[in-house]
A = this chain, B = another copy of it.
Amino acid sequence: MDDFMQAAIAEAQAGLAEGGIPIGSVLVHRGVIIGRGHNRRVQQGSAILHGEMDALENAGRQSAQVYRESVLYTTLSPCAMCSGAILLYGIPKVVIGENVTFTGEEDLLRSRGVEIELLQDGTCIALMREFISQHPALWQEDIGETA
């Protein structure tokens, strides 16, 4: 297992331990993690802090050049919002833990030239499968779906 995906999974697990949605992410610049994050919907009552957004926020203000030399790791396929953030900042590559439990805007990202590496990692899948089965309404809220 890639160390950076392992760090993203550790973020997801930290979120789960806090009672949150188990999705984690890290932003890696030239081989160094510059931002770590996990979904904060439950913990902070946040509508925008998905795992990827939290990692970007925790990386702080960066120049466009830094983003363009970075890779975003996320345990789950990025939704429209997180994909939009990837496009805004011109992040050239995204490594995705899994897209079995949710498939985000991978096609849009690819159509704009973003490289996607999909791991279909068993730990990532198990985290989301269990969470969704136990908290279906919370999960629907997080991805803007109606019951």
With CB as the reference atom, state the residue of chain B lying closest to A104: B88
Q: How many copies does the complex hold?
A: 2
Chain A interface size, as a band, is: 35 or more
Q: Are A53 and B59 in contact (CB under 8 A)?
A: no
Indicate if A32 sits at the interface (CB-CB under 8 A).
Answer: no
Q: Are B68 and A47 in contact (CB under 8 A)?
A: no
Q: Are A144 and B90 in contact (CB under 8 A)?
A: yes
Complex-state Cα separation, A60 to B15, whole angstroms: 19
Q: Are A56 and B47 in contact (CB under 8 A)?
A: yes
Interface centre among A45, A81, A87, A143 (most CB of B within 10 A): A81
Q: Are B79 and A144 in contact (CB under 8 A)?
A: no
Q: Which residues of B contact A144 (CB under 8 A)?
A: 64, 67, 88-90
